[in-house]
Structure formats: structure tokens, C-alpha cells
Structure 1
Amino acid sequence: MKFVDEAVIRVNAGNGGDGCMSFRREKYIPFGGPNGGDGGNGGSVWLEADEGLNTLIDFRHQRVYKAPRGQNGMGSDMYGKGGEDIVVRVPIGTVVTNVETDEIIGDLTKHGERLLVAQGGKGGLGNIHFKSSTNRAPRQFTHGTPGEERQLKLELKLLADVGLLGFPNAGKSTFIRAVSAATPRVADYPFTTLHPNLGVVRIEADRSFVIADIPGLIEGAADGAGLGIQFLRHVSRTSLLLHVVDMLPIDGSDPVEQVRAIEHELGKFDEKLLERPRWLLLNKADLLDDEARQARVDEILEQLDWQAPWFVMSAASREGTRDICHKVQQFFDAEREKQRLAREGVLDDVRARGEADAAPGEGA
């Protein structure tokens, strides 16, 4: 299935039903009084995150979602029926933006999470609400209010733990095939990957992480060059970036310059991405003998003045890939432990303050 990560839709909530003007007309009751009921509320439009979806392609075929209006009020004190709400399912990780105001309405990151995007109109009042001691036969009623109408931009940001960076043909797709069950397309020409691919790397039964294969970035990606600008947004959700570098590019380009070019594009897109943990994966080591491999690695690391973790691997032969996965899992295990300790520390502080407040003061 083609991956679609952006869509624009229009949502129309239902209008509220009108109130009713009616009077009792029964035999032997000449002055029965008003009995017009209220109109029903219009239906609202909700978005709901669904883990069973991984693309926005359905919104390319249906772009308008309209909730039913409320029923008008009726005589005999009968209120109109409210319009049913409609729920539109979207993938987890969908960011919803109001096109007209460019305001982010919400971000759906959990299965079952809902977001109200168009509020239904309120039903009008029937004439039973306007009777008084001086107005025994009111002829006033109100119309229902219109439902909200919005044009929304849906933007899918992948929820992955690890994002793969690198120039086209660096070996990202081969790497994700080697370490997970994902089967992205692999070929010996650039821009083979045209949409992001997700893979689950399972270390043990209860220890795993999700890795995203982002289409290759090139210089100028942050300004719209190539395919990168469409997918840089997916990097923003990842906790760890793995920068895959081809030690022997087929076009004879310099790997060091490629790394610096991608660093530049990350900074232009979002400076916070440069602060994200980023490890260097020096790929295609199987094309060099031991001596040439070591010399090439030393040269790249020295010119980059690389201080973060780095690994030498061959995604094609799977050399070193398993060790990288274990190191990544250890990274996430350590991060979760830090978060647990931080939460416990906060709870301990709260308990300590509570006990101090409850303790009697001197002279009590």
C-alpha cells in the first residue's frame, strides 16, 4: 500500500434543530398553553486514533465528513432527536491542524484517544420556555445554531523509537531488513525508498524497540529538495537517531561531507534535532579488507571529530548489526530506568512534604 502521511479534509458538524411553537388544542381545554419542544443538538465530529491504521490514504478518497443535524422540536412537549456524532479513525501519531488559522488542534498519540474537531450546533428553544404570568400564549421560539465547519490538515508523524538517517543508497533499508521483519525495497540506485518503513526489533520476548527507515535525505532537504522535507517530521518523534554512512559511496562523494550536509539540514528543520542522541553507523565494511577498513574508519572519525558512539557494520552481510541492536536496547533500558527513578524521586519528595505538613509543630 502506498504510504500517505498528509491529507486535507473538511468536517461539518450538524446544525441544531429549531425549537417549535405549538399550543395545546384539546376539547374542554380552551387555554391549554404552549407545548412546543426544543430542537435536538447537531452531531459532532470526532477523530479517534486507531492502532490498526498506518496511513492516511483513506482520506485521499473521502475528504468531507458531515454529521447529521438535530431534529426540530415538535408539539405536545416533544423534543427533537439529537444528531448522531460521527467518529473518524486516524492512525496513531496524527497531528491535526486548522488550515484557516494554522493552529494545531491536537496530537493523537495513543490508541483510542479522541479529539473533538467540530462541535455540533445547539438545538433551539421551543415556546414552552417563554411562558410567564404576563405572556400566557408566547409565540417566541429560537432557531438552532449552526454546527462548526473546519478544514483540517492531517499530518502523520511516525511513532518510532529509532530513526535511520543517511544519504540515498547508504544502506538504511538493508539495515532494517537485517534487524527486523520489515521488507522495504532494496536496489542499487538512489531513492529506492519512497516512503517510511517501520520495523520492530525484538531482542527478547519483552524487550523490543521500533525503528523507522526514513527516505534518503540530500542537501537542501529542509528547503524542499528531494524527498526529505516530506519525512523530516518523522525524525522529530524518535528518541535516538542512527546515522548510516556509506564508507564507499558509488558516486565517489566524500562520506564526511555527507554527514555534515545532513547535520546542516537537521539544524535548518529543527535545531532541537541536533541535540538528539545520534550514533554513527559506518556501513559496507565488507567491501574493504581489514587494513583499509580501519584506515577509512579512522579518517572519517578524525575529520568529523566524532564523540558519540559509532559502529562499523555491513548491513548486507549483517556483520555487526546484532551488536548495534543490543546497544540500542541497552540505551532505552537505561532511559526507562532514569525515568522510573525520576518518578519515584518526585513521589518521595511529595510524600516528604506531605508528612512535614502533617507533623505537629513545636509546642503542640
Structure 2
Amino acid sequence: MTSAGMQLGQRDLAEAQRVVNAVASSFAAKVVGQGHLRESMLVALLAGGHLLIESVPGLAKTTAARVVAESIDGEFRRIQCTPDLLPSDIIGTQIYEAATNSFVTQLGPVHANIVLLDEINRSSAKTQSAMLEAMEERQTTIAGVQYPMPRPFLVIATQNPVDQEGTYPLSEAQTDRFMLKELVSYPSVDDEVEVIARMDAGVFDPDRPAPPVVGVADIRRAQEVTRAVHMAPDLVRYASTLVSVTRHPDEHLPAQLARLVEYGASPRATIAFCRTARAMAVLRGRNHVVPEDIARLAHRVLRHRFILGFQAASERVTPDVIVDAVLRAVPVP
């Protein structure tokens, strides 16, 4: 690459960083703490993937998703998932128009730049499946006609733990389409005190919305920069090997953990590693991926992609315990 080309690349990288820093600052102004969640949202946005957020109710999952959406001058839709929600309520349907004696297509709320699926696992499996085509093919089909999604297109779904009342576990096909899964924990005492202080100051008042800080064109350019980040072949092999260990746990993991894994991660996991590692490099101001980018994302990429047996639940072994073992089993290049 010529020196002029390298300078152009650095300018592109700096512009992409400006965009993500603007969104991150908007996030920090409204959401107290949750730096890990902020990072996951920015990575998903840059990588063009979707994010699944899990925690008990009341930990600002919806607020965090809304703040990111409001920081981008694009179209935002929120869908509250309930047991009686229908697929047509999400993707749209055809309605009869008496004035013209014909049917017209009314697109559903999923046709937006950022879509928040609130409490996705409170909707039925049939309704959950309505999102599969939209998330994977970036389109919906209504009455045989395909309608493409706008760009960028990001689905942020929140879910409550599956052992809570009124929840329906997401299918493997559904969870596999989320590039990352983030777990949100309780805030510290200091963070909770700061939340109250911001509430008293009116930061969360609905009549004081934060103006957008970037446009959809800025996000598209930042995504193009992310795709151009260099990832060496040995790092691609490192990511693929991590995924392969989940498929052959008997060969790599301790016996007491290997017997708990029923099914390994799909090739979507390797794809997610490569795309999100490039996004992590952009967040760190680099034009190339390093092994630490992959390791930092391992839990978020893998925790929802392999299947543990019932014995794992009885022994209180979480997916993150398996991911820790996977990371220890694969040498870092």
C-alpha cells in the first residue's frame, strides 16, 4: 500500500472512531455504567449484526437500546413482545382499501434502521420465527413480494431469564442469528446513586430527548471501514479453532465439562468472530485485528450458540464456564 493510501486509511479510521465516540458519549450521558453493554452495542452496530441482551427486569436494557437508537438520525421502532403478538404485527400485512377496491401492503415496524424487540421471549415461537428472514436475509416477504430492510439495520432484542414466569425459550435458529449476546448485571451502589441523581436532574424526562449525533450515512461509512480492517489468516484460524472446540469437546475440554456439551456452535460463530473482531479493532483505533480482540469477544459470541444438556443446569454450570475452558484449550497465535 502506498503512503497516500495509508493516510487515506487513517483518515477513514479516524472518521469511524468519531462516529462511534459520538454514539458512546450519547450513551454515557443517559445510561450510568454498563460500559460492557455499550461496547457490545457499538460492536454490533459497526459489524452490522444483531444483539441479544439478557437480564432480570429493571436493569435499563430498554433504556440503553433506546438511547443508541436516538443517537442515530434514522428510523427507530420499538416492539413490545407479548404472548398475543402476531407475525403480521411485526413484518406487516396486506389490508383491503375500500376506496380503490384493492389490497395494499402495510409494512410492519421491523422495517426500520434500529428495531428494539422488548422482552422477545415473552412472544410465542411462531411470532419469534417471523424475525428469522428479516434478521438473516435483511428482507421480509408479504404476499409473495420481497421488501428489503433499510441500511443500516440493527435488531436489539431484550429477554428475561428463561426461568421467569411467562417466558418462551428462543429456538436455536433464532438465537444463532444474534451476532452477540450480552448479560447485564445489577449496578453498583455508586451507580445506583448516580441514577437517582440524574433522575432528579431531569435527564430522563421524556420532554428532553437527546438530539441525534450521527446520521445513517455516517454509520454506513463506519461499517465499510470496519469491513476493510485487516485480519490475518492465523487469526481467522484461531477463531475457527475456538468454534471447533465446542463441536468436539471430548478432544479438548476436561471430561467433567465435555460431557455437558450436547451440540457445538455453527459456522455463524466463526463469521461473527471475524466481523466483530474487526469492529473491536476500530473501537481500539487499529486497522488490524489482534488476538485480544477475539478473546475479549469470545463469551459474547459463543455463550448462546452451543447447547448444554440438562445436567449442566442441575450442576449450575453456565455457558460462560465452558467458554472459559475453550479459551484455555486453544493456544493464542
Q: The TM-score by the shorter chain falls in which range?
A: under 0.3
Larger strand fraction of residues: 1
- Normalising by structure 1, we get a TM-score of 0.23
Larger helix fraction of residues: 2
Q: Pick 1 or 2: higher relative contact order, CA cutoff 8 A, min separation 6.
A: 2
- Normalising by structure 2, we get a TM-score of 0.24
Who wins on radius of gyration, i.e. which is larger? 1
